[in-house]
Amino acid sequence: MDANTALKLLALNQRFYQNFAHQFSKTRQRLQPGVQKILQTIPPGSKILDLGCGNGELARALGRKGHHGAYVGVDFSPVLLTEASRITPGRLPAQFILADLAAPGWEANLPVSTFDLVLAFAVLHHIPGAYNRREILHRAHALLVPEGRLIHSEWQFLNSPRLVARIQPWEMAGLSAHDVDPGDYLLDWRRGGLGFRYVHSFSQAELGELAAETGFLIVETFDADGETGNLGLYQVWKRV
């Protein structure tokens, strides 16, 4: 994928979250089962960087759990961050930062220099281009303490016939199939109007290559979410 196509797809997703942030947030009022499973493994004093924190539901869950380590949530949607910054239950010292992960230097304004955990639930599959995904992971690697963990999930929408039916031709976004990479899809959105999002479908082999290229070792993989329990692929990576 060339740089211009990547920029077009980034702009497409930015427009989506600008136009449909409220509708999207209404669908994210509880944590996915896979995230809940991860939540039970997080030490209460760990320092957490939550990439793509959205409306802050994870932060609220950490607060209810009694987490007291530093928490920093990053997202590029002002609307979602406004929701996230509302009072968080418990003693969680949460801070929320407006930043675009695909923009160079997004980490410069973080109030904490290193973290025990970097979380990226349903984030990487919205980042177009292998180069951009590697750059984000390199920065996450640099922000982790030695042997820190990156925990992420990737949407496995191809496992759902209902979601497969929402795949649209690239011409709807002013592109063609020749412009994008294998595994790239355009999905529509039908709540509160018609919208479109870029999504990449990751295989485990592709994620293994990505981990090796960016200095991580995969230590755990599991499926969760959805009625069939396989709409989310979760992995825990250790910094090496």
- 162 has a pLDDT exceeding 70: yes
**Confidence (pLDDT) at 26:** 58
Q: Is the pTM of this model over 0.95?
A: no
CATH number of the domain encompassing residue 130:
3.40.50.150
Asked if the structure places residue 46 within a domain, the reply is yes
CB 111 within 8 A of CB 200: no
Total of domains in the chain = 1
Residue 161: how many other CB atoms lie within 10 Å = 7
Sequence-distant (6+) residues with CB within 8 A of 217 are 211, 237, 238, 240
d(CA 37, CA 32): 9
In a domain, 165, yes or no: no
Q: Does 174 reside within a domain?
A: no
Domain assignment of residue 44, yes or no: yes
pLDDT digits (tens, 9 = 90+) for 64-106: 889 999 999 999 888 888 888 876 666 688 899 999 999 888 9
Q: What is the DSSP letter of 202?
A: -
